[in-house]
Amino acid sequence: MDSEVIEALAGTTVLVVGDLMLDRFIYGVVDRISPEAPIPVLRFREESEMLGGAGNVARNIVALNGRAVLVAAVGNDTDGHYLSETLCPAVGIEARVVKSDTYPTTVKTRFVSEGQQILRVDREETALDHETLVKVEDAVAEALPHADAIVLSDYAKGMLTPDSIRVHIAAARAIGVPVIADPKSRDLTHYRNVDVITPNAQEAAVATGHACSTDEGAGKAAEAILESVDIGAVLITRGPQGMTLLAPTVGIEKPFHIPTRASSVYDVSGAGDTVIATLSVALSAGIDIKRAAHLANSAAGVVVGKLGTAAVSAEELLQSVSSTENISFMTREQAVAQVKQWHNKGLKVGFANGCFDLVHPGHVSLLRQARQQCDRLVVALNTDTSVKRLKGPSRPIQDQTSRATVIGSLRSVDLVTLFDEETPLELIKLLKPDVLIKGEDYKVHEVVGHDIIGQWGGRVCIIPLKAGHSTTNIISRSENATAN
């Protein structure tokens, strides 16, 4: 059922209208205080740039296999061209961007050390010229007839004025396109006649005077919003407290509280974008609002476990809602992203690899000792094809899914992934682990990657083996017992 619901998200078209911005992240490590002033010195490690604001909403829609049409305004400057002509097409967004000569592109630059933001620098203006606003309205009117839903992503950067909000809502309602609004204004009457509004806890509290830190308070805030604004439903996003939904028009007449699905929180940047993107795609696919809210909540639980402005894929969402047995198993692309997050948090990552065909006490001992050498341990398994090349046509005894499930269930293992090559060298180059770990049946110079790991400050660690345990010996004993 979960897979059918998430498959239904594919092919929907959502028109996103709102404030497009560039999110820039500068990652590094703070290990000293400046002699010039009592401020931390960030030792640069990496820089990344990605779509922010309404762009991140659109990116999340595409990641869920929906079609995103983005209407926004940026400055006629280098960052504006980069957003519309490079970043949007790179992730599959159909961007209909209006460029203004008087309005600079909004850029947020965050400086991050060990997973914590230590400074944010914003470049922005919040007043768009009339000519640009008219061009935006025309672009929205042109795109609306081909959309299954419209999202108003308001970040109070000038794209969505009270007048333009009313124009967009009226145009959508005239042709029966549902409207989902992520508000910024404390005056929620600006969003009158939308189908769903998604304020966060702080926005709902400011608008109604009811604190949303408890279920009771959030319920009162939701009721107050519906009493004061003519809308179909309200979904209050409450961070660690989950969500509160109220939608009397579809039978949810009392506040319905959804607990958070997040298992760990690294960064809440863009979590609201993920929520409204998932909600809009789900509603466009005909999923009822309660189930859509549950999906959005699950997606938020995934995205806050990532660093930076992030998107959630359909595959990640399915994994989250299905409660799969082996939550540590990841594709190569997911593994690279996860290790990058760990490194940006300042965590030391270890890397072990092998067939692990029949897991025995020797394997368990090796991996337990390996985990003591690092903060997070990645285990790379040979695929079935790779095992056959190494061990012969009768191997592996267990297929790669079974082996990944067993290894991933060990407490010492944080991430399991596969490699199909003769050696894991390409994977090592991508992950850049801090420690390469092998058993003592290898010499340091025999460990794949020993000659390159020093390039990024890593090392090789040789682990003592538990005597008397071998997969080959286990198979041999089993064959002899069968023969006798």
User: Which element (helix H / strand E) includes 315?
Assistant: helix 314-322
Burial class of residue 300 in the structure, from the number of CB atoms within 10 Å of its CB (0-12 exposed, 13-18 middle, 19+ buried) = buried
Residue with tokens 């109604």: 208
* Catalytic residue chosen out of the listed positions 273, 357, 384, 434: 273
Write down the H helix ranges in 382-434.
Answer: 384-391, 400-408, 425-431
**CA torsion, points 417, 117, 215, 149, in degrees to nearest 10?**
-70
DSSP, residue by residue, 321-339:
HHT-S-TTB--HHHHHHHH
Residue 24 pairs with which residues in a beta bridge? 49, 109
DSSP, residue by residue, 136-198:
HHHHHHHHGGG-SEEEEE--SSSSS-HHHHHHHHHHHHHTT--EEEE--SS-GGGGTT-SEE-
Start-to-end C-alpha separation, the chain: 49
Closest CA to 310 of 321, 299, 319, 325: 299
Is 275:198 a contact under the CB 8 Å cutoff?
A: yes
Active site residue 79: no
Which residues are marked as active site?
273
